[in-house]
Structure 1
Amino acid sequence: MQQILATIDSFHDFIARHPLAVIHVMRDNCSVCHAVLPQIADVVKDFPNVPLGIVNQSELEEIAGELSIFTVPVDLIYLDGKEMHRQGRFIDMQQFEHQLNLMYQSLDS
């Protein structure tokens, strides 16, 4: 499940509503951001009930200050409303999937 998050409030609501959530922050003219998005979506689809929130920093500039983002893309994993993992600029998909898997398993225990 993917959802576009267009406001700071929708971002906060999204991470509060889902015990485990992934956020992808991108910009319009970032080719790496657009290349990483389908890869992140492909990883997330293997985890039932883990939603993917997409924030376009070009349309929501204040997300940079809210999340202390200095470069894009940034991919984040939130567990119980807290940021637990962050990768920026160069995304290691294996590491990202490993971290997501650990947190997903912790939900069951």
Structure 2
Amino acid sequence: MHEMSLTEGVVRILEDQAAAHGFTRVKTVWLEIGELSTVVPESMEFCFGAVAAGNPLTADARLEIIRVPGAAWCMDCSENVPVTSRVDLCPKCGGAKLAVTSGEEMRIKELEVE
């Protein structure tokens, strides 16, 4: 389960930001997770509960996950199209030359802190 190490990384980023910006408590973390990423949002929620509980900065923090849909640029029909997999064909023209433009990310979008 690589979500545990990803969650530990998120908490380290929160600690770094707390040191840089002087906050002492994280109330809410909004985390964007792309549908095409290999991250399982439910596993991140579980791991965040476990990792955050042992840290005074994040002990009471709430994790809010924003799911980012997959999208790609079709090089055959020059259209932005929705995709649910990296191996999808273009839903408009059936072409296979797709360049993913969103849905692979995992990033902290916003924090609520004290």
TM-score of the two chains, using structure 2 as the length reference = 0.32
Structure that is richer in strand per residue = 2
Structure that is richer in helix per residue = 1
Specify the structure having the higher radius of gyration (Cα).
Answer: 2
TM-score of the two chains, using structure 1 as the length reference = 0.33
